Amino acid sequence: MHSLELIPTELTPSVLFNPDKNTFIIEGKSLQDKPADFYKKVKEWLREYSKQPNPATSLQVRFEYYNTATARELLDIFKILEAIPESKVVWQFLEDDEDMEESGQELAHLVSVPFEFKAT
């Protein structure tokens, strides 16, 4: 399967999904008013990947900031991961960023995919 690589902008995060290297990363900022257009590609790619996933899938998520509209898109992404066996989310946050840690915990409670929290 082909990789998905989206270059970050001032309003969008970087996305690197490379199944050959077992690399799945979303990081940066997500500040779009209507993020559905941006995340549509990400969700379509994950749905296709879910048909023949790697034995284990670990999605690393590290945001400096994201808005409420993005939270809905993240929930959709995590719900796709629920259907992928042996998948998990590694929620990374700066050690002193309690808001981002709490945001991840709130999202984790809404889905059944396992979360690992990692302060950096």
Q: Which two tokens stand for residue 110?
A: 């809404």
Which one-letter amino acid corresponds to residue 64?
E
Q: Would you identify the CATH topology of the domain 4-119?
A: Transcription Regulator spoIIAA (3.30.750)
Measure the N-to-C terminal CA separation of the chain; round to a whole number of Å. 31
Q: DSSP code of 52?
A: S
What's the length of the chain? 120
**What's the pLDDT score for residue 78?**
98
**What's the pLDDT score for residue 1?**
83
87-114 pLDDT, tens per residue? 999 999 999 999 999 999 999 999 999 9
